[in-house]
Amino acid sequence: MRWPSERAALALATLVAGTAMEPATARAAAGVPAAVDPSYGRIDGDIALVVAAGLAVASPGPRAEAELRLRYLQTAGVFAALEDGGLLGSGAEPWRTLSTGVELRPLFLFRWLKGRETEHARLDLAIDSIALELGATFDQPRDGVFASRRGFQAGLGIELPVFESASGPWVGLRGLLRWSDEALGQGAVSGRPGPQAVLAVTIAWHQLVAAHVVDVGDEAPE
């Protein structure tokens, strides 16, 4: 059974209010049975902190990767990722890449408020993790200077939870396309290389934090 109206009330109690109440208290206020948590812990905090490590596979060689991500309400956020071919001794080109940008996960709030879960925690969490990202890249060629080449990237990703909970370990998979500034500036020119395709595989830890971002500045003046 699903409770769309109760979930809307719960959203007002926890998400819009910046998770001012504890999740269990908010669920009780919304009239949702205490044993039911169709969010699987995704509203236990308004901010998700994500630390990840893995491998970025691209031609002509792979690079080790580390990531840091911050998401608000499991829906939108920012990220920074560093890839380093030197750690693997590979023939990667570029040798190092720093990427930063924004991430959008459009499915979670819509599906949760509508009560459209499959009632299989891992599947629901995986579907709602589908993300679009856009960002800038800063490359270091082999024997070159860090960030001497810049570019743009677009990506699509999905994550699979190890446990049936939003907090904890996840396995991630992202496909990326990257264009250099030179390629973007000159457009499609015969003989020029196309975008570089990158496949990133990571193991991450997700931690939900009640940061009360919406509450900032709402305190009554003394």
For the domain that residue 160 is a member of, what is the CATH number? 2.40.160.20
Least Cα distance to 193 among 104, 97, 94, 126 occurs for 94
**pLDDT tens figures, 105-151:** 999 988 888 888 888 999 999 999 999 999 999 999 988 899 999 99
Reported confidence tier of residue 48, pLDDT bands at 50, 70, 90: very high
Whether 30 is in a domain gets the answer no
Query: In angstroms, rounded to a whole number, what is the distance separating the alpha carbons of residues 58 and 95?
Result: 11
Whether 10 is in a domain gets the answer no
Whether 12 is in a domain gets the answer no
Q: Read off the pLDDT of each residue in 24-46 and give the average, rounded to a whole number.
A: 64
Lowest mean pLDDT among 22-36, 53-67, 181-195: 22-36
Whether 19 is in a domain gets the answer no
The whole model's pTM is what?
0.78
The predicted pLDDT at position 19 comes to: 42
Query: In angstroms, rounded to a whole number, what is the distance separating the alpha carbons of residues 211 and 45?
Result: 7
Domain count, the chain: 1
Lowest mean pLDDT among 34-43, 92-101, 210-219: 210-219
Whether 175 is in a domain gets the answer yes
Question: Can you name the residues that pair with 133 across neighbouring β-strands?
Answer: 103, 155
The predicted pLDDT at position 181 comes to: 83
Whether 9 is in a domain gets the answer no
The predicted pLDDT at position 2 comes to: 45
The predicted pLDDT at position 217 comes to: 52
Phi then psi for residue 57, to 5 deg, are: -100, 120
The answer to whether 176 and 197 are in contact (CB under 8 A) is yes
Whether 23 is in a domain gets the answer no
Tell me which residue range forms the domain holding 184.
41-215
Q: Read off the pLDDT of each residue in 161-167 and give the average, rounded to a whole number.
A: 95
Whether 16 is in a domain gets the answer no
Q: Read off the pLDDT of each residue in 3-7 and give the average, rounded to a whole number.
A: 51
Q: Which range among 83-92, 159-168, 208-217 has the greatest average pLDDT? A: 159-168
The predicted pLDDT at position 194 comes to: 72
**pLDDT tens figures, 64-89:** 999 999 999 999 999 999 999 988 88
The predicted pLDDT at position 186 comes to: 64
The predicted pLDDT at position 214 comes to: 65
Residue 192 has pLDDT above 70, yes or no: no
Least Cα distance to 84 among 151, 154, 142 occurs for 142
